[in-house]
Amino acid sequence: MIENARYTESGSIIAVIDGVQMTVPDDMGNRHRQMLAEWEAQGNTIEPYVPPPPTLEDYERAIQSHIDATARERKYEDGKSCATYVNSTNPQWAAEAAAFVAWRDAVWAYAFTELDKVQQELRAQPTVEAFLLELPVMQWPEPD
């Protein structure tokens, strides 16, 4: 007798069959998968895989990657490299670095404020992708 079943991230199925939890490949050649198909035909449902919500570290990694990618738009190695030009004797590089540092600070200030709201349950937790779209947009200075 099948008690319940749910898909895993890899596409296999975790099912409790005759009181035993087992991993069943989603392959109709497998006898346990055939049993699950019969169980489904009786109106039962294999629960879909639901990914866990993103962690704070997931957001932080994505934000830092976004910052570094933005710096690379102007051929800097990464965000840290761009920021080091803030006191450059080249006026264009100094202007880009100053604008970048101000933008980077605004990004992190926004992120910390909004993610704190999520932790306090003052707003719904967005996906990482949706959250990146909320971040301030970098405005590079015009070339001299």
Kindly report the number of other CB atoms within 10 A of residue 135's CB atom: 19
Radius of gyration from C-alpha coordinates of the chain: 25
Structural domain of 96 = 56-134
Shared domain for 10 and 75, answered yes or no, is no
Q: Supply the pLDDT for residue 44.
A: 95
Shared domain for 73 and 116, answered yes or no, is yes
Shared domain for 77 and 32, answered yes or no, is no
Q: Supply the pLDDT for residue 12.
A: 96
Residue 139 lies inside a defined structural domain of this protein: no
Shared domain for 63 and 119, answered yes or no, is yes
Shared domain for 66 and 117, answered yes or no, is yes
Q: Supply the pLDDT for residue 143.
A: 83
Number of domains observed in the structure of the chain: 2
Residue 143 lies inside a defined structural domain of this protein: no
pLDDT tens for the chain, 144 residues: list them. Answer: 899 999 999 999 999 999 999 999 999 999 999 999 999 999 999 999 999 999 999 999 999 999 999 999 999 999 999 999 999 999 999 999 999 999 999 999 999 999 999 999 999 999 999 999 999 999 999 987
Closest CA to 135 of 115, 113, 111, 112: 111
Residue 142 lies inside a defined structural domain of this protein: no
Q: Assess contact for 61 and 101: CB atoms under 8 A.
A: no
103's enclosing H/E stretch is helix 91-119
Query: What residues are paired with 4 via a beta bridge?
Result: 16
Shared domain for 35 and 60, answered yes or no, is no
Shared domain for 36 and 95, answered yes or no, is no
Kindly report the number of other CB atoms within 10 A of residue 47's CB atom: 11
Report the interhelical angle of 56-72 vs 91-119 (nearest 10°): 160
- 62-68 long-range Cβ contacts below 8 angstroms, 24+ apart: 62/128, 62/131, 62/132, 63/107, 63/108, 63/111, 63/132, 63/135, 66/107, 66/132, 66/135, 67/104, 67/107
d(CA 34, CA 71): 53
Shared domain for 115 and 65, answered yes or no, is yes
Shared domain for 108 and 69, answered yes or no, is yes
